[in-house]
Amino acid sequence: MAHADIGGAIIDAPVLEILKRERAQALSAREWKFRLAGYGYAIKDVRGAQVVTKLPQGIELGILPAQIH
């Protein structure tokens, strides 16, 4: 299942907005990941990059931009 294609896929703008908004409201990275799960998204580490996935299938949406971490 860890078959990330670290080719630099672009994440859709509405999804990026959710990621940014929830990161700004969360007090920690752990809380942020928990909040994202409520929207059906997850962040997983693959070869040094953080990849946004869609739950529960684990479909990879793209690499998380560095400014959002």
Q: Is residue 41 part of a domain?
A: yes
**What is each CA distance from 44 to 15, 18, 31, in whole angstroms?**
16, 17, 14
- What is the residue-averaged pLDDT of the chain? 88
Q: Is residue 59 part of a domain?
A: yes
Say how many domains are in the chain. Answer: 1
Say yes or no to pLDDT of 1 above 50: no
Provide the domain limits for residue 22. Answer: 13-68
Q: Is residue 8 part of a domain?
A: no
Say yes or no to pLDDT of 67 above 60: yes
The whole-number pLDDT of residue 22 equals 97
Say yes or no to pLDDT of 29 above 80: yes
Q: Is residue 1 part of a domain?
A: no
Q: Is residue 5 part of a domain?
A: no
Q: Is residue 54 part of a domain?
A: yes
Structural contact between residues 54 and 61, judged by C-beta atoms closer than 8 angstroms: yes
